[in-house]
Amino acid sequence: MSALTLKLKHSLSQRLDMSPFTPAHLAGKKVGEIASIPLWLGNRRVDAAELFAIDGKVTDQIVIQSESDRLDGIGAGMTSGKIMIEGKAGAYLGCGMRDGTIQVSGNVGVAAGCAMQGGHLEIAGNAGDFLGGAITGERQGMRGGIIILKGDAGDRAGDLMRRGTILIGGNCGDYCVSRMVAGTMVVLGQCGEQAGMAMRRGTLILTRPPVSMPATFNDNGRHHLNFLTLLIQSFKDQPPFSNLAERGNQVHRWLGDLSCGGQGEILICY
């Protein structure tokens, strides 16, 4: 077995802070040292070995096997390498990550990719609220990198997003890209209520109209937008998002939120 593998031994009664387990933090450590890394479980500190069966050797890849949704902060602040999660992840997945890759086969909790600055976050299941959002109290959410979500997202996806790209293959909850500052989000499924509320700039690309959008959005009409060709080309290795190319680059464009400058756009590709 090449990659370091952490297998959760039993279900957790409290939430567990997994942020110490990043490839950069573990680099150069022996398996024995990793086993004794203290982790916060609720308000207690326990050794990693009490919770995980640790196997493999230390490389720039980590495999986490868990069916618990209480493993929080996986890959937080990550700067390199790859974390593969076979199962579920808790809240704050990839929070503030700068580079590297995180892949999750299952669902993830709230605030995945929040304050993310770079790297690649790929989720095969669903995500909770505030995907790519901001750390509570901060003024900027995601500001770089790409999040690819194959399933559905909760409410407030892309809240306060500043830069980067979020691709959502399923549906999206209410207040999608609320307070967005800049960046790009694509939703292939249905978008909920009040999409784009208080967005200042940035682009939300949809394949169908949202359930509702604020009254402070104006109809800008139909347009051929050349940049969409380049944008969609950049998804060429990311099905089903690459299928957007079949829709051409003519979109129906809405501009808003006029209560916040109105430089944001919702593009509906028919």
Q: Residue 184 phi/psi, 5° resolution?
A: -135, 135
CB of 202 to other proteins, least distance (A): 9
Give whichever of 66 and 184 is closer to other proteins, judged by the CB atom: 184
| Closest separation in Å from C-beta 119 to other proteins | 13
Phi/psi of residue 106, each to 5°? -115, -150
The beta strand positions in the chain, using DSSP E, are: 4-8, 16-17, 38-41, 44-47, 52-55, 61-66, 71-72, 82-87, 101-104, 120-123, 143-149, 163-168, 184-187, 203-206, 218-224, 250-256, 264-269
Minimum distance between the CB of residue 230 and other proteins, rounded to whole angstroms?
5
Minimum Å gap between C-beta 144 and other proteins is: 9
Residue closer to other proteins by CB (options 89, 267) is 267
Q: Which amino acid is at 26?
A: L
Q: For other proteins, give the closer residue by CB, 207 or 263.
A: 263
Shortest reach from residue 229's CB to other proteins, in Å: 5
Of 171 and 234, nearer to other proteins (C-beta) is: 234
* Interacting residues with other proteins (CB under 8 A): 163, 182, 184, 201, 203, 223-227, 229-231, 233-234, 263, 265
**Which residue matches tokens 């940035």?**
202
The nearer residue to other proteins, 150 or 162, going by C-beta atoms, is: 162
> Starting from the edge strand earliest in sequence, which strands make up the sheet with 38-41, in order?
44-47, 38-41, 16-17, 71-72
